[in-house]
A = this chain, B = another copy of it.
Amino acid sequence: MAKGSYSPEGVFYPFPTEEENRKEEEIIKRITQEERKKGREIVAVQGLGFVGCIMAAVIADAVDKEGRSYYFVHGVQRPSARSFWKIPVINEGRPPVESTDKEVPEIFRRTVKEKKTLRATWHEKAYALADIVVVDIQLDAIKPELGRAEIGYCDTGAFQEAIRQLGRLIKPDCLVLVETTVPPGTCKNIVKPILEEEFTKRGIDINKYPPRIAHSYERVMPGANYVSSIRDFWRTYAGIDEDSAKRAEVFLKRVLNTEEYPLFCLGDTNASELAKTLENSFRATNIAFIYEWTLLAEAIGINLWEVVESIRVRPTHKNIMNPGLGVGGYCLTKDPILAHWAYKEIFKLKLANQDPVLEHWKSWEKFSEHVGLPISVESVNINDLMPLHTADLLQEAMGGDLKEKKVLILGASYLKDVGDTRHSPSEILWKTLEERGAILFVHDPLIKVWPEVPSAKVEKNIWESLRGKDALIFAVPHRQYLGLPPKKVIEAVGKPCVIIDAQNILKDKEIVEYLRLGCEVRGVGKGHIKYLKEQLKR
């Protein structure tokens, strides 16, 4: 069987032969020469994932005041079964991601087909040709056990290998701009020594040519403003030395909209790396914070959604988070762990354990070994476990037993109106309900397959998906789920059923209608439903 990669559309792309490898090297060399003659600098983007592919297009799209492109971009992707197909797809001028953002297909067409400033390749030789390499490879945190983020760790193996590859290939004065979210300390303690080691092996005098390294993190949001969230948003950066910082500044000013969104320079790559993990930990903590209040609100008959809305009028409290099913996505679920791990493993700090404030956390067994960042880490635990509460609401509403009950989960992605299922709380909900014996179904208008839950068949027709179910869980507030007429829903189901609203999708009058139709209704943070029920009885 020929090895290769299937695109989501089902097209098979065989991996390149040695002959194709040789040809490809010639092609990228030739193109690079031609592009240099046009006065363009050469950028290689390492990794064409969610960030890398868009970043590559944004760099290729950048022009000076006369409309001349600054850069030619080699978008580099290893020939893996999961991702190799992206290369031919991009080179046809099509995006390797699905998105509701109309700019996504446009920017690939424009840069690949019109400007001809972007080309994807699998060949590592591209790094040798580049003036700047932008590192956009994944760096994951591993959570060996749900609810024990404190023992989570960072697997830097693949990341180190990718950096080593650069060290073997790049020109000595090439700027390595790390865009990946990394544990604080990575540029200084991992990237720099590896590059120095490889440079030295190549006979490069690292006193004369110290590796040029900078860090600048993106704040991407998949969704309707996907491209813009990379290009038109504030950026922080830092260089490992003055020269690196300066070159990063010039580059970022050319490719990003820094006139409207000025750059912020920090004095130290440690600081820039920490900033990213800090800002995502802040958000994760704010979500975890609301959970304990969700339980209180449910217990004492309060609609917490309304309370939070009332608090949000205060400018200082605008970002107070809603209750809900849980937290998903690639960042909030792991970034606190990256920093916690750096505390222990990169900086070897015991410090927090001796701190007079955090000392008492040691009395909690789970932190007895290392206190680190307890609030941030515990927030990850709370957020990871949060879907279990929705499972409990369902179980209670169904009289305690979920065995053989047909349950439809409405929404599998981690964000409303976005078809991204990475670390989705619906996944944890699914697995929890499966363990409890329920027969599960899922509907989501925005995804075709659910890679994290391969056993799930994603239904596309909402009305058909409702038929015969014992319970519906509104899990993601996709636009399609708002304002569904209860009568029509229950007609489609064919009988009164249990309705769980984990995301404030139902208005009070809709809840009352479901109750009138004989349904049991529960909602996360919606303790007031019991009063709506009492009022009906009168």
Contact = CB atoms under 8 A, between A and B. Distances in A.
Interface of A: 147, 184-185, 219, 234, 236, 261, 264, 266-268, 270-271, 274-275, 278-279, 281-283, 285-286, 288-289, 291-293, 295-297, 299-303, 306-311, 313-320, 339, 343, 347, 349, 351-352, 355-358, 360, 363-366, 372-376, 378-379, 381-382, 385-386, 388-389, 391-392, 528, 531
A384 to B, nearest CB: 9
Given A279-B311, A282-B311, A381-B360, A301 B270 contact: yes
A147 B365 contact: no
Contacts of A343: 296
Contacts of A295: 351-352, 355, 358
Nearest to A291: B357
B376 A300 contact: no
Contacts of A320: 279, 282
B313 A264 contact: yes
A388 B45 CA distance: 47
A363 B363 contact: no
B278 A293 contact: yes
A259 to B, nearest CB: 14
A58 B302 CA distance: 31
A324 to B, nearest CB: 13
Nearest to A383: B357
Oligomeric state, in number of copies?
2
B293 A373 contact: yes
Contacts of A282: 286, 289, 311, 317, 320
Contacts of A309: 264
A309 B314 CA distance: 21
A282 B307 CA distance: 13
A433 to B, nearest CB: 13
A508 to B, nearest CB: 9
A34 to B, nearest CB: 39
